[in-house]
Amino acid sequence: MTNEPQNVTVQIKYKNFNETFVGQPEQVWLALNKFLNEFVPSFEIANQLTLNVDIHKLAKDCEGIIAFSKEGANLMIPRSKLTDNETLILWLLANRLGKELHVLKSDAVSREELQTRLGKDSKITGTRLGELVKSEIAVRSDDETFRITSFGIMQAQKEILPRVKTKILQG
**CA atoms of 148 and 59, how far apart (whole Å):** 15
Same domain, 33 and 59: no
21 within some domain: yes
What SS3 state is found at 147? strand
What is the rounded CA–CA span in Å between residue 156 and residue 67? 16
Name the pTM for this structure: 0.72
Range list of H helices, 49-121: 55-61, 84-100, 111-118
pLDDT band at 146 (very low <50, low <70, confident <90, very high): very high
Give residue 123's domain range. 55-169
Q: Which of 10-19, 95-104, 125-134 has the lowest mean pLDDT?
A: 10-19
> Are 36 and 65 found together in one domain?
no
3-class DSSP assignment, residue 4: coil
- Structure confidence at residue 1 as a pLDDT band (50, 70, 90): low
- Using CA atoms, how far apart are residues 86 and 94, in angstroms rounded to an integer? 12
Distance, CA of 98 to chain centre = 13
Least confident range of 25-34, 98-107, 121-130 = 25-34
Among 65, 61, 75, which Cα is nearest to 154's? 61
Output the average pLDDT for the chain: 88
Let me know whether 79 and 135 are in one domain. Answer: yes
State whether 102 and 127 are in the same domain: yes
66 and 147 in a single domain? The answer is yes
Chain-centroid distance of CA 133 in Å reads: 16
